Amino acid sequence: MSINSAMLAGVSGLISNSSALAAISDNIANVNTTAYKRKQVNFANVVTSQAVKGRYSAGGVQAVTRQFVSQQGLIQSATSATDLGIAGDGFFVVSSKGTGMLPGDPRLFTRSGSFSVDADGFLVNDAKLYLQGWPIAADGTINDSPSDLTRMTSINIKNLGGAVKATENVVVNANLDKTQVVSGAEATYVAGEMAAYAATGVASATATQPDFDKLEMNIVDSSGGTHRIQVALLKSDTPANTWHAEIYAVPASEIAGATDGLITSGMVNFNADGSLNLTASGGTTLFGPAGSPVQLSIGASTDVAGVRWAAGLGIKASAISLDLSKLTQYADTSAVNSINPDGATVGNVVGVEVGEDGVVSATFDNNEVRRIAQIGLATFPNSDGLLAVSGNAYRATIASGEFSVKYPGEAGAGEIAPGALEASAVDLSAEFTGLITTQKAYSASSKIITTADQMLEELINIKR
């Protein structure tokens, strides 16, 4: 009966508009939710078979829910360095637990990048979802995969232990006095005598006091221990503008395989204008033809031959590049301007940084920075087909297609914005307008039911 179908059509209108109201309510309630994607209920008509000519049977309306996951929210600055926004396509890979992840445990996808460090050192967002990333090995390699999420682990910045960086480079900036009077002991000087003087503190026939020995530097070994290396210089008169140089350890007992802690010796050559002669060659110069730095190779205590650390120290070999290219010889007092060695003693984690390339780095109180993880962004052929779950996250579905995890900014993936968050995609003006139209449509559907009821009442009253 057409009147019955009209009443049922009115009921379908009430149900569909109720769904629309629920979606609008969700949108308004999440106007301040990080990276929230709005939902919308669209309407589709239902057509029934018109079996009898001249009569019409109402089919009503059905509600179709649509989500706008691919809609980009505004990137806004945040106060924390671990707040991460995504400008472009892609999702963070997250999990519901930090440790004990099994291959069968589900991984979720989210754009809610409000991450912070929890008590156990994991990066978690406001929904307590743990950020996943590819671990970075000590040699800088990354075992990544675009489709195997089990290679990712929950990122932890506190269970790293201390950080140590052995000294690899030292840059020396100093001046040697051109007017320095040549020492009387220079005529009989033999390499190693300045190291002998440093060891004994007394000048003798076999221990020559240097003209300048203030080039001292602390180097760090592989275990975080510090050692003092000294460069001593003695002016030579044959040829002019040359200096004898010795590099030795203080105390001498730290070096084995050489006398008085001597590591290496040679000549330093200057040009007539006081600049260092980087092209000087010969077996006794401390510089090669290209002016390359002095390479101090101090072997481990187990080395068979050559200069090495004393066995009692029990440390690894050291390869140090000593750059003396900024050494000058002017008619001014011999002085050290600066000595800049790299390397760092044992340090503890004091912070975390995330780069635009998605690399998570831990910073230590010894100014050392260690790269610990690489964030990957998962992309989908149809992100609007993802299944929403609690915590502003999503699961992959058949409609969304297979994911592919990529480096930020590569192959269509968006870029990570550190210290920023993606705002909710809800437009309040559009939602309040939708409230008005939904309310009116609901009232109109209710009128269909009351009108059909009145017509049925008239039909019943015919018998009277």
What would the pLDDT profile of 124-154 be if each residue is shown by its tens digit? 999 999 999 999 987 889 999 998 999 999 9
HSE, side-chain direction, 13 A CA sphere, residue 117: 17
Stretch 94-102: mean pLDDT: 86
Distance CA 95, CA 103 (A): 12
- pLDDT value of position 83: 92
Q: Tens digit of pLDDT for each residue in 112-122?
A: 999 998 888 89
CB 301 within 8 A of CB 308: yes
Residue 342: which pLDDT band, with cuts at 50, 70 and 90?
Answer: confident
- Which of the residue ranges 4-8, 122-126, 219-223, 313-317 would you say has the lowest mean pLDDT? 4-8
- pLDDT per position as a tens digit, 215-265: 999 898 888 888 999 999 999 988 888 999 999 999 999 998 889 999 988
**Domain 164-346, second-level architecture:** Sandwich (2.60)
Closest C-alpha among 366, 245, 255, 263 to residue 320: 263
What was the pLDDT predicted at 287?
63
Reduced 3-state DSSP string for the chain: CHHHHHHHHHHHHHHHHHHHHHHHHHHHHCCCCCCCCCEEEEEEECCCCCCCCCCCCCCCEEEEEEECCCCCCCEEECCCCCEEEEECCCEEEEECCCCCCCCCCCCEEECCCECEECCCCEEECCCCCEEEEEEECCCCCECCCCCCHHHCEECECCCCCCEEECCCEEEEEEEEECCCCCCHHHHHCCCCHHHHHHHHCCCECCECCCCEEEEEEEEECCCCCEEEEEEEEEEECCCCCEEEEEEEEECHHHEECCHHHEEEEEEEEECCCCCECCCCCCCCECCCCCCCCEEEEEECCCCCCCCEECHHHCCCCEEEEEECCCCEEECCCCEEEEEEECCEEEECEEEEEECCCCEEEEEECCCCEEEEEECCEEECCCHHHCEEECCCEEECCCCCCCCEEECCCCCCCCEEEECEEECCCCCHHHHHHHHHHHHHHHHHHHHHHHHHHHHHHHHHHHHC
Q: With 90 as the cut, is the pLDDT of residue 123 above it?
A: yes
Return the closest-CA partner of residue 133 out of 347, 349, 362: 362
Read off the tokens for 92: 């963070």
In the chain, CATH 2.60.98.20 sits at: 164-346
For residue 179, the model assigns a pLDDT of 92
Q: Is-above-0.85 flag for pTM? A: no
Residue 288: is its pLDDT beyond 80? Answer: no
pLDDT of residue 129: 94
